[in-house]
């Protein structure tokens, strides 16, 4: 009795796991009746299958399982299972049973000397769950009695309940898992939906056969101006001009046929907002056999970019045209504007040479002024051409020896004006990154200015040195000449701006503008300091140098 | 005995007169042949078309060549001169208004012997022409004809 209640308690504990429970049942039953115990369960198809078996001798179990393998149902009949009553066969007549048993099982019974058997059906709520069979063989000499049968039936009833409960628990647990899996799939779907929905590009999916829309995102709705409720289930022909729809579907079919991504760099599309341009990528979505199921399309609206590109291209073409015209203009200026000046100057001189004796002093002076005007204009033209050249010419950047360029500038000035005595102090080895020819023009201008504006002071001095301005390396050209009023400093670098009269100091007012333009093209800055009668200092930085 | 002339290729009448005047002032006595566009220059040099009947004895000792010319420009003339065996060694001085870099580079590239800019200041102009004449007509040893 104690064994029985222990066994029942053990069934309860093992309920959580049906496989474990069946082992426990077989073991406990065998323990209670001290026999071979076999637990068989009804399978889904209604057949019986061995679920667990126990005997103290493993060899017996192996033998038994092997012989049951061919015909597991041969231990019991349907009608018996339905009866709910245990079957007690204390003395088996194996010879008589031979016709009703599978030959393998019959041989096994004979081998193992099985002489008694109890078969107890397991039923729960009127449903057959399986059975428990107890086989008595020669290991025990006591014949099976009714008491044994009742005991096994009792165990079978409890085991059946426990098994049913265990199955129910498992089914509930499986149900939870299915639900959890379904939720996980839904969560993943919702995530993907949100991603697709919020992508800035139009995303659509069409089925592979009809090419009808099965999915559409918000960016697509906005682009086309059509809600997805109208789009889904329809095809391109329902919304776009025939030629467009034809093109879209042609590309769809290409994609599905090639089974690879197709990139359409530009395609026009008629929308309610007017014509737009798309860059579309189409991707086939294949089933597990590699057959196309869907077509995924991702379209980027490139209308604005296309427009910007076109505008940029137009602007560039225009700039090139202007630049070419400017070039032609400069060329014409260089050639054609000087010839008339040569005529004015030359024939004024011819008058002086050939008719000088017929002219009075005033007439001669006038002719002199005509010549002067012509020559001044020639200088002006040259300066303007130089200014336009420094604007147009491409920079060739390399390391430039500014000290050497300054020396050359001074040597040229001295050659043209050999009588001038000027103290020139050039800091040696000043180098910077820049365009050598442009920087030479800048230094020629700066030194030319300094040379000019120191022409009226004794002990004229011009210096070039490197210095620091607001944490940046700067170069300075300083002179002790006429200087200027800081009030007008902003005018210094403008074209045609002059702070001195032509009679004080001749000039065209283009030199410093040229310097500024050269320095700006080097991404540098120009600055000037000075005071009337106290000289001037011109600073420049070369921004390109630091970058 | 061949006559060594100066071939002046110049379309601007004012420049033509100034150049002739400058040559005269520089005491250069060689005869100056003036042609007024590139095509005429080539006709004269190769004795063709209007100049087919020109005497073979006239030989240009130096060509003073403007660049901006009607029909065929100065660079075209220069190229034709250098391409023809009869004239390829002939001294050519480009005498023009511009010192645009592309002009100077192209002129030397096509084989100009010298490049001189016409100054606006007539005094300087005379000086330049005088030095040119002195060099190419007196100092320089020409190719034997």
DSSP reduced 3-state for A151: helix
Contact B14 A340 (CB under 8 A): yes
Domain ranges of chain B: 3-139
Asked if A435 is an interface residue toward chain B (Cβ–Cβ < 8 A), one would say: no
Q: Which of residues 24-63 of B touch A (CB under 8 A)?
A: none
Q: What percent of chain B has pLDDT over 90?
A: 74
Helix (H) or strand (E) holding B63: strand B58-65
The minimal CB distance from A334 to the residues B100, B120, B122 is found for B100
Q: How far is A354 from chain B (nearest CA, A)?
A: 11
List CB contacts (< 8 A) between A441 and chain B: none
List CB contacts (< 8 A) between B100 and chain A: 330-331, 334, 385
List CB contacts (< 8 A) between B99 and chain A: 334
Provide the pLDDT for residue A547. Answer: 39
Helix (H) or strand (E) holding A229: helix A228-231
- Report pLDDT digits (tens) over A131-171: 888 888 766 667 788 888 888 888 888 888 887 787 777 77
Same fold, A2-171 and A199-301: yes
- What single string gives the DSSP state of each residue in A9-49? HHHHHGGG-HHHHHHHHHHHHHHHHTSEEEEEEE-TTS-EE
The CATH class of the B3-139 domain is: alpha beta
Contact A375 B121 (CB under 8 A): yes
DSSP reduced 3-state for A409: helix
Are the beta carbons of A478 and A535 closer than 8 angstroms? yes
ipTM of model: 0.84
Q: Backbone phi, then psi, for A8, in 5-degree steps? A: -65, -40
Q: Which of residues 70-89 of B touch A (CB under 8 A)?
A: none
Statement: A199-301 belongs to CATH 3.30.450.20: yes
Are the beta carbons of A129 and A163 closer than 8 angstroms? yes
Q: Residue A356 carries which DSSP code?
A: G
Distance between CA atoms of A26 and A131, rounded to whole angstroms? 11
Contact A374 B96 (CB under 8 A): no
Domain A2-171 maps to which CATH number in 3.30.470.20, 1.10.600.10, 3.30.450.40, 3.40.50.1820? 3.30.450.40
Asked if A205 is an interface residue toward chain B (Cβ–Cβ < 8 A), one would say: no
Q: How many CB pairs under 8 A join A and B?
A: 60
Residue of chain A nearest B22, judged by CA positions: A346
Q: Around Cβ B78, how many Cβ atoms within 10 Å?
A: 25
Distance between CA atoms of A201 and A280, rounded to whole angstroms? 10
Are the beta carbons of A347 and B130 closer than 8 angstroms? no
Asked if B129 is an interface residue toward chain A (Cβ–Cβ < 8 A), one would say: no
Distance between CA atoms of A88 and A166, rounded to whole angstroms? 28
Contact A338 B120 (CB under 8 A): yes
Q: How far is B15 from chain A (nearest CA, A)?
A: 7
Asked if A368 is an interface residue toward chain B (Cβ–Cβ < 8 A), one would say: no
Contact A349 B123 (CB under 8 A): yes
Asked if A331 is an interface residue toward chain B (Cβ–Cβ < 8 A), one would say: yes
Provide the pLDDT for residue A546. Answer: 46
Strands (E), A237-336: 262-271, 274-286, 292-301
- Report pLDDT digits (tens) over B42-74: 999 999 999 999 988 888 999 999 998 988 999
Domain A395-546 maps to which CATH number in 3.40.50.1980, 3.40.50.360, 3.30.565.10, 3.40.640.10? 3.30.565.10
- Report pLDDT digits (tens) over A499-538: 777 777 777 788 898 999 999 999 999 999 999 989 999 9
Asked if B120 is an interface residue toward chain A (Cβ–Cβ < 8 A), one would say: yes
pLDDT in tens, chain A (547 residues): 566 667 666 666 666 666 777 777 777 777 777 677 777 776 655 667 777 778 777 888 888 888 877 665 656 666 666 677 888 888 888 777 777 777 888 888 888 888 888 888 888 777 777 888 888 876 666 778 888 888 888 888 888 888 778 777 777 888 888 888 888 888 988 888 889 899 999 999 999 999 999 999 999 999 999 998 998 999 999 989 999 999 999 999 999 999 999 999 999 999 888 899 999 999 999 988 888 999 999 999 999 999 999 999 999 999 888 888 887 888 787 778 888 999 999 999 999 999 999 999 999 999 999 999 899 888 888 888 888 888 888 888 999 999 999 999 999 999 989 999 999 999 999 999 999 989 999 999 999 999 999 999 989 999 999 999 888 899 999 999 988 888 888 888 877 777 777 777 777 788 898 999 999 999 999 999 999 989 999 999 998 544 3
Provide the pLDDT for residue A12. Answer: 65
Q: How far is A339 from chain B (nearest CA, A)?
A: 7
Are the beta carbons of A29 and A36 closer than 8 angstroms? no
Domain ranges of chain A: 2-171, 199-301, 309-391, 395-546
Beta bridge partners of A128: A123
Provide the pLDDT for residue B144. Answer: 76
Distance between CA atoms of B119 and A130, rounded to whole angstroms? 126
pTM flag (> 0.90)? no
Interface test with chain B among A326, A331, A339, A389, by most B beta carbons within 10 Å: A339
Asked if A345 is an interface residue toward chain B (Cβ–Cβ < 8 A), one would say: yes
Contact B97 A334 (CB under 8 A): yes
């Amino acid at each position: 009795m104690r064994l029985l209640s222990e066994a029942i308690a053990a069934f309860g504990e093992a309920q959580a796991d049906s496989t474990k429970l069946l082992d426990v049942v077989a073991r406990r039953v065998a323990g209670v009746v001290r026999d071979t115990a076999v637990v068989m369960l009804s399978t889904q198809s209604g057949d019986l299958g061995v679920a667990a078996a126990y005997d103290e001798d493993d060899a017996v179990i192996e033998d038994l399982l092997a012989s049951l393998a061919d015909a597991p149902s041969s231990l019991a009949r349907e009608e018996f299972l339905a009866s709910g009553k245990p079957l007690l066969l204390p003395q088996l007549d194996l010879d008589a049973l031979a016709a009703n048993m599978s030959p393998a099982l019959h041989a096994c019974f004979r081998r193992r000397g099985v002489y008694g058997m109890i078969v107890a059906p397991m039923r729960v709520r009127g449903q057959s769950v399986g059975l428990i069979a107890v086989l008595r063989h020669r290991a025990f000499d006591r014949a099976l009695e009714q008491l044994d049968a009742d005991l096994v039936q009792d165990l079978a009833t409890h085991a059946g309940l426990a098994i049913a409960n265990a199955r129910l628990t498992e089914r509930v647990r499986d149900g939870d898992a299915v639900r959890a899996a379904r939720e996980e799939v839904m969560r993943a779907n919702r995530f993907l939906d949100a991603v697709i929905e919020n992508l800035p590009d139009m995303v659509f999916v069409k089925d592979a056969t009809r090419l009808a829309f099965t999915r559409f995102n918000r960016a697509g709705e906005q682009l086309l101006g059509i809600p997805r409720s109208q789009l889904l289930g329809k095809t391109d022909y329902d919304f776009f001009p025939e030629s467009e729809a034809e093109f879209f579907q042609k590309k769809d079919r290409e994609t599905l046929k090639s089974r690879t991504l197709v990139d359409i760099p530009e395609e026009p599309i008629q929308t309610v907002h007017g014509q737009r341009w798309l860059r579309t990528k189409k991707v086939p979505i294949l089933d597990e056999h590699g057959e196309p199921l869907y077509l995924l399309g991702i379209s980027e609206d490139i209308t604005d970019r296309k427009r910007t590109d076109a505008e940029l291209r137009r602007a560039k073409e225009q700039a090139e045209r202007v630049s070419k015209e400017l070039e032609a203009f400069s060329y014409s200026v260089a050639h054609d504007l000087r010839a008339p000046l040569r005529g004015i100057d030359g024939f004024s001189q011819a008058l002086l040479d050939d008719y000088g004796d017929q002219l009075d002093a005033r007439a001669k002076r006038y002719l002199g002024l005509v010549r002067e005007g012509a020559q001044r204009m020639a200088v002006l033209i040259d300066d303007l051409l130089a200014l336009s050249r420094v604007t147009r010419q491409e920079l060739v950047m390399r390391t430039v020896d500014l000290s050497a360029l300054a020396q050359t500038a001074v040597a040229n000035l001295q050659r043209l004006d050999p009588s001038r005595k000027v103290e020139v102090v050039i800091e040696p080895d000043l180098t910077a990154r820049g365009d050598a020819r442009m920087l030479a023009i800048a230094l020629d201008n700066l030194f030319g200015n300094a040379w000019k504006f120191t022409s009226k002071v004794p002990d004229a001095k011009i210096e070039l040195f490197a210095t620091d301005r607001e944490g940046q390396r700067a170069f300075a050209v300083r002179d002790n000449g006429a200087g200027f009023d800081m009030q007008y400093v902003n005018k210094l670098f403008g074209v045609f701006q002059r702070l001195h009269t032509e009679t004080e100091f001749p000039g065209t007012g283009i030199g410093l503008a040229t310097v500024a333009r050269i320095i700006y093209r080097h991404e540098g800055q120009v600055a000037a300091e000075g005071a009337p009668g106290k000289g001037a200092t011109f600073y420049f930085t070369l921004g390109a140098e630091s970058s | 005995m061949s006559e060594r002339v100066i071939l002046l290729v110049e379309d601007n009448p004012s420049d033509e007169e100034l150049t002739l005047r400058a040559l005269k002032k520089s005491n250069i006595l060689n005869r100056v042949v003036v042609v007024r566009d590139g095509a005429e220059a080539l006709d004269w040099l190769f004795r063709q078309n209007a100049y087919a009947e020109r005497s073979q004895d006239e030989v240009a000792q130096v060509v003073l060549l403007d660049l901006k010319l009607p029909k065929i420009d100065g660079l075209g003339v220069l190229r034709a001169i250098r391409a023809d065996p009869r004239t390829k060694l002939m001294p050519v001085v480009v005498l023009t208004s511009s010192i645009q870099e592309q002009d100077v580079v192209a002129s030397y590239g096509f084989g100009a012997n010298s490049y001189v800019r016409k100054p606006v200041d007539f005094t300087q102009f005379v000086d330049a022409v005088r030095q040119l004449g002195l060099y190419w007509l007196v100092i320089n040893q020409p190719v034997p004809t």
